[in-house]
Amino acid sequence: AQYTATSMIGMIALAGIIVRNSILLVDFIHLQLREGVPFKQAIVHSAVTRAQPILLTGLAAMLGAFFILDDPIFNGLAISLIFGIGVSTLLTLVLIPTLYYAAYRRRHAPPSST
């Protein structure tokens, strides 16, 4: 399929979906930390807990996009949504927790006893 205006609209929608999922994941990490959960465990627990809602939301959006796949005008939108949501869901559940850990591990490290 060619890159069209509807493909671009799909990419803009993807940006919103990725940002929303990432914000929910980071917010859940912060909630865990406020409850006193250790940093590493909070990241893992938030990714595991939020995985099901993120996967179900992504699957529902991908299935909805399959219905417009045959339309010649919205074909690009459907393709960008189907593949983009699939990739972004995996990246959200793997890359965001990894980057968050890498960025903030020193801030949450226990004080050294030397």
pLDDT truncated to tens, each residue of the chain (114 aa)? Answer: 677 788 888 888 888 888 888 999 999 999 999 999 999 999 999 999 999 999 998 899 899 989 988 888 888 888 888 998 999 898 899 999 999 999 998 887 776 655
Q: How many residues does the chain have?
A: 114
pLDDT of residue 18: 86
Check: CB of residue 105 under 8 Å from CB of residue 67.
no
Contact call for residues 39 and 93 (beta carbons, < 8 A): no
pLDDT for position 112:
61
Per the listing, tokens 């938030």 go with: 46
Domain boundary assignment for the chain: 13-104
Rounded Cα distance, 41 and 39, in Å: 6
The pLDDT, as a whole number, for residue 1 is 66
Residue 103 has a pLDDT of 92
State if pTM tops 0.85: no
d(CA 37, CA 16): 29
